Amino acid sequence: MATADIWQLRQLVYATFANEGRAPSVAELARRAGLPPEAVLTNLRELAELHALVLAPDGDAVRMAHPFSTAPMAFVVTPVDGRDDRRWWGGCAWDSFGIGAALELEVRIDTACPECGGALSIEAGPETAPSTGAMAVWFPKPAARWWDDVVATCTRIRLFCNPQHAGSWSTRRGETDGQIVGATTVWSLAQPWYGDRLDGDYAPHSRGHNQALLESRGLTGEFWRLP
């Protein structure tokens, strides 16, 4: 069972992402939590086992804390308010909407359509649905397989100009087991999925809770069945 130290560490990771757009180092976490670096690493690995965050391949640093990423993954998220100079890497289209949800902030999401290379820019917030037109999001694999390699999964959840571009891009790559979802539906899903990630009393959602969120957005059937 996870200890209070583990959840304190998670809060420190998320607070650093929210305030500074980066992940804290192990040494920084050790200093701030008052723990030895070895204990921090142990706790980070337990959080990774719980899917509360994602570690770098060597297991010695935070790679992702959904919806935040430590490295470029095709999405740049910035506050709409130009006086706020923070910026974040969105892990995917879904995560990028989730950053606005988690921060309770109106954000601008900038990316490019993988098929045509055209620039795409969306403004959205927790209470503000994006004006996406025909934009669509590609989900590369069934929900039961998202965590087989979650960084690879996120890398391929991309935003496209329209469903036709998503379909032609995936077909050319030989990816035939994914699904295309309207961008506004993905924004709607991101709000409750990520909206509580920075809450002081955050607790992981149950499988049943998340399955209900998917179904309430019309994402039903075997493809969307969580493990």
pLDDT digits (tens, 9 = 90+) for 95-114: 999 999 999 999 999 999 99
User: In CATH, what is the architecture of 75-224?
Assistant: 2-Layer Sandwich (3.30)
Q: Are residues 27 and 33 in contact, defined by beta-carbon separation less than 8 angstroms?
A: no
Asked if pLDDT for residue 1 goes beyond 50, the answer is no
Question: What pTM, to 2 d.p., does this model score?
Answer: 0.95
Q: Are residues 136 and 180 in contact, defined by beta-carbon separation less than 8 angstroms?
A: yes
Q: Which fold has domain 4-64?
A: Arc Repressor Mutant, subunit A (1.10.10)
E-strand stretches of 6-135? 54-55, 62-65, 68-69, 75-79, 88-90, 107-112, 119-124
Asked if pLDDT for residue 189 goes beyond 80, the answer is yes
Q: Residue 35's closest CA among 61, 4, 76? A: 4
**Domain spans, the chain:** 4-64, 75-224
Mean per-residue pLDDT, 181-189: 98
- 62-99 pLDDT, tens digit each: 999 999 999 999 999 999 999 999 999 999 999 999 99
CA angle, 220 as apex, 192 and 144 as ends, to 5°?
Answer: 80
